[in-house]
Structure formats: C-alpha cells, structure tokens
C-alpha cells in the first residue's frame, strides 16, 4: 500500500476555506494526517479515509472549528464509536464502507445546526441521534447488513424531516411516523406494500415521487403512467383511487 504525506503547511493554513482530498484506487493509495490541524477558516471538507480514520479523518475534523459542510467516506475497521460532535455543521454526507471482519458499534450525531443529512454505503452500525433539531432534509442510500432494527432506529432518528429520499433501502418493517414530512421520494425499487406503509406514516405528505430505474419509469403524485399491470402497480392504484378524495382527473 502506498502511503503519502501531505505538506505540513496545508494543515495550518489560516485562509483555506475548502479542502478536498480524494484518491482513485482504494486498495493502493492512502493518506495520513502528519501533524496537529489548525484550519480556522475551513468551511467545506470532502475526504475519503480508508486507513486509521480516528488518527486521520477525525483529527482533521477536530481542527476545523468553522466547518459547515462535511463529506466523509470512511472504511470501518474497529469496534469503536464514530462520534460527530460538530455544532457548526449544516450539511453532512457520510458514506460508510466496511471491513467484513468487524463493524463499528455506533455512529453518534450531535449536530444541532445540521439541515441536510446523507447516509450511504453499508449500514452496519447503530445510529444514535443526540441532536438533529435543525434537520430538514435527509437522503438514504444504503444496504442494511444486520437487521431491520438498525434501519428502524435510523428512521426514528430522522423522523422530524420535511423531505426524505430513499434509494437501495433493504427494509421490510413498518416505518415510524413522520409528522412533518411533505416530500417523499423513492428510487431504484418498487415495493408497493412498503410505499403504502410510508403513505400511512406521513399525514402531511404533499409530494410523492417513485422512480423505477430499471424500467425507466417515473411515477409522480397525480401522474401515474406506463402501468404494465403488475400486482404491485395494481395495489398502488387501488390504494390511490380509494383514498384520493379530491381527485379530479
């Protein structure tokens, strides 16, 4: 594995506002954080860390007191909690990869000013939402590799959102109540029973978008086209026609 060190001056730059550290081949190239970090003006950080995340990624994050946007792709190696205690953060994109021999215990989010959250990759950790009081929009694109319990706890933690996008989500249990949700989007799958459960869980829903990527079909609230007569489609139509009290067309 080729390990390279970035210049020391990069980690103490007083005027840097945006930093992105990426690499191509994840099996042959990693980077290390070589010194204490002090980036007082950094607001946007986009990094991928596949080795020693507690020494590299979190050391870097701790040295950014003004951070507002964080995109982090991290490979989980150890049975340790991943704690995000970032009061200034407004946007978080978190992609979790996993070494198959171990899995982290918890991902703790204490981000009181966070407005947007994306979680992708493999859900092998229990999310603990300590403070997501400002969260408005969330996007989910992961495979649950343990149990529906983890998925359900994650959804409960973001149940206050107004907008939710779900992609590649392996979840079969009934979702929690989303009292504030007015926009819901499904991508890359079509499970009518699950969709109907979400509809029952969103009393304030105004916009629903269902995208079936493989067949290149998009169903929008009020516009359901290219119906091929499959059972899930018929179930969905029955539900909509039976409950759309003000339907005109």
- Angle of CA points 79, 122, 164, to nearest 5°: 120
pLDDT at site 217: 42
The pTM for the full model equals 0.84
pLDDT at site 48: 87
Residue 200 contacts by C-beta under 8 Å, 6 or more apart in sequence?
A: none
Q: Is 232 exposed, middle or buried (0-12, 13-18, 19+ CB in 10 A)?
A: middle
Say if residues 141 and 167 touch (Cβ distance below 8 Å): yes
Longest dimension (CA), the chain: 65
pLDDT at site 57: 85
Say if residues 95 and 82 touch (Cβ distance below 8 Å): no
Output the CA–CA distances (angstroms, integers) from residue 235 to 28, 131, 164, 221, in the order listed: 49, 38, 23, 15
CA 216 – CA 225 distance, rounded (Å): 11
What residues in the chain have per-residue pLDDT under 70?
A: 1-5, 23-30, 76-79, 98-104, 144-147, 170, 188-193, 212-226
pLDDT at site 64: 96
pLDDT at site 179: 96
Residue 105 burial (CB count, 10 A): 15
pLDDT at site 186: 85
pLDDT at site 146: 57
**Sheet of strand 217-220, all strands in order from the earlier edge strand to the far edge:** 18-21, 44-49, 69-76, 91-98, 116-123, 137-144, 163-167, 183-187, 207-212, 217-220
pLDDT at site 33: 77
The predicted-structure confidence for 103-146, as pLDDT tens digits, reads as follows 557 899 999 999 999 999 887 788 999 999 999 999 998 776 65
């Amino acid at each position: 594995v080729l390990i390279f060190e970035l210049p020391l001056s990069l980690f103490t730059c007083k005027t840097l506002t945006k930093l992105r550290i990426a690499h191509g081949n994840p099996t042959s190239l990693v980077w290390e954080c070589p010194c204490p970090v002090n980036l007082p003006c950094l607001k946007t950080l986009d990094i991928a860390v596949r080795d020693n995340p507690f020494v590299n990624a979190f050391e870097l994050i701790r040295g950014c007191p003004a951070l507002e946007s964080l995109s982090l792709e991290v490979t989980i190696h150890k049975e340790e909690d991943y704690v995000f205690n970032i009061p200034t953060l407004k946007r978080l994109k978190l992609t979790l990869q996993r070494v198959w021999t171990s899995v982290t215990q918890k991902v703790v989010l204490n981000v009181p000013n966070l407005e947007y959250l994306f979680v992708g990759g493999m859900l092998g950790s229990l999310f603990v939402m300590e403070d997501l009081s400002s969260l408005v929009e969330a996007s989910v694109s992961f495979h649950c590799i343990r149990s529906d319990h983890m998925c359900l706890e994650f959804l409960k933690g973001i149940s206050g959102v107004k907008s939710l996008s779900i992609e590649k989500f392996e979840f079969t249990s009934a979702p929690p109540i989303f009292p504030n949700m007015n926009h819901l989007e499904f991508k890359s799958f079509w499970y009518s029973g699950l969709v109907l459960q979400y509809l029952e869980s969103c009393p304030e829903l105004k916009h629903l978008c269902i995208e079936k990527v493989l067949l290149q079909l998009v169903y929008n609230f009020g516009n359901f086209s290219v119906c091929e007569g499959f059972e899930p489609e018929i179930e969905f139509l029955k539900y909509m026609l039976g409950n759309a009290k003000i339907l005109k067309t």
